[in-house]
């Protein structure tokens, strides 16, 4: 079964009690193929009962999607998945209770045109990506914004960094359980061959109380460490109470830690 919305360009669903985006046809057994050939924006906001995009086994295609926002959709199990039904995913998760399900679980190319991804107010989210993303998934992503995800443990796993070669701006705010941004376990950060280059221009980290003591920023195009808030005029106070080892290595475009007047501790 294939469903194709040929003319739809933007899909916005805001502040309602919807549990699924696309309803399953009665008696449907074959895996559904959901195609959105012209959609450039998907905006899901304040949907407290949303559980899945489509309940049955399915694949979905978003060839032109550039902007994806998922805000306050705390009951979502998996937003985009491989061709499994929701029930099968539940059975898998019950068999693997120690493994947390990611927001995106895909085995084929996902979002080949996506440039901006914003995730916020997702208190139950622990993992964003599946650790086996295929080569061209998210490879055009330029902006990643993650805010108010209280149980999120890390942003990127070490074996995934090569997928984000276009990432220029990374904002992470108010994630109370977050311990690390880039997981570099098993990598020698002093070896240029072992670390993936990411063309970051802006890295904005705020109110992350459990971030690990070592702050490593290595081999990227970041120009500043802490970004200025829009309209900020007062002298900023930057406090890093648990950092014992700041490590800045091979940052050829770094100009300053914080551009405006500030104190740091």
This prediction has a pTM of: 0.76
pLDDT at 45: 96
188: which 2 tokens?
């020698």
**Other beta carbons within 10 Å of 135:** 8
pLDDT at 94: 42
Whether 105 and 80 have beta carbons less than 8 Å apart is answered as yes
Q: Using the structure block, give the residue that is written with the tokens 């070592």.
A: 214
pLDDT at 98: 39
Whether 50 and 22 have beta carbons less than 8 Å apart is answered as no
Sheet-wide strand order for 127-129: 80-81, 102-105, 127-129
Give pLDDT tens digits along the chain (265 positions).
446 678 899 999 999 999 888 887 777 667 778 888 999 999 999 999 998 887 777 777 888 999 999 999 988 876 765 544 444 544 444 444 334 567 765 555 568 899 999 999 999 888 888 666 666 678 899 999 999 999 998 888 766 777 788 888 889 999 999 888 776 555 544 544 445 567 777 878 788 888 765 565 655 677 777 766 666 667 777 666 666 666 666 677 777 777 777 777 6
Q: What does the domain layout of the chain look like in residue ranges?
A: 2-209
pLDDT at 189: 47
By CB atoms closer than 10 A (0-12, 13-18, 19+), residue 126 is middle
Backbone angles phi, psi at 122, to 5 degrees: -120, 80
CA distances from 138 to 116, 143, 244, 263 (A): 10, 11, 33, 37
Whether 215 and 225 have beta carbons less than 8 Å apart is answered as no
pLDDT at 196: 55
Q: Is 124 helix (H, G, I), strand (E, B) or coil?
A: coil
DSSP for 12-71, written as a single string: EEESS--SEEEPPPTT--SPEEEE-TT--EEEEES-TT--EEESSSEEEE-TT--EEEEE
Q: Using the structure block, give the residue that is written with the tokens 């090569």.
A: 162
pLDDT at 209: 82
């Amino acid at each position: 079964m294939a469903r194709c919305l040929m003319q739809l360009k933007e899909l916005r669903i805001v502040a309602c009690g919807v549990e699924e985006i696309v309803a399953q046809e009665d008696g449907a057994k074959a895996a559904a193929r959901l195609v959105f050939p012209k959609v450039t924006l998907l905006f899901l906001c304040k949907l407290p009962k949303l559980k899945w995009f489509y309940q049955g086994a399915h694949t979905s295609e978003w060839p032109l999607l550039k902007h994806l926002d998922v805000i306050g959709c705390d009951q979502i199990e998996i937003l985009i998945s491989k061709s499994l039904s929701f029930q099968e995913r539940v059975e898998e998760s019950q068999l693997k209770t120690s493994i947390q399900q990611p927001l995106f679980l895909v085995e084929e190319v996902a979002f080949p045109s996506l440039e901006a991804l914003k995730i916020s107010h997702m208190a139950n989210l622990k993992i964003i990506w599946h650790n086996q993303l295929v080569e061209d998934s998210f490879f055009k992503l330029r902006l990643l914004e993650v805010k108010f995800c209280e149980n999120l443990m890390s942003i990127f796993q070490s074996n995934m960094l090569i997928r984000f070669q276009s990432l220029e701006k990374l904002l992470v705010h108010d994630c109370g359980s977050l311990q690390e941004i880039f997981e570099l376990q098993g990598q020698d950060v002093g070896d240029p061959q072992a670390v993936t280059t990411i063309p970051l221009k802006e890295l904005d980290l705020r109110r992350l109380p459990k971030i690990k003591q070592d702050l490593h920023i290595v081999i990227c195009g970041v120009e500043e460490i802490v970004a200025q808030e829009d309209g900020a005029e007062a002298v900023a106070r930057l406090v890093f109470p648990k950092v014992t080892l700041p490590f800045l290595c091979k940052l050829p475009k770094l100009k300053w830690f914080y551009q405006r007047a500030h104190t740091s501790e």
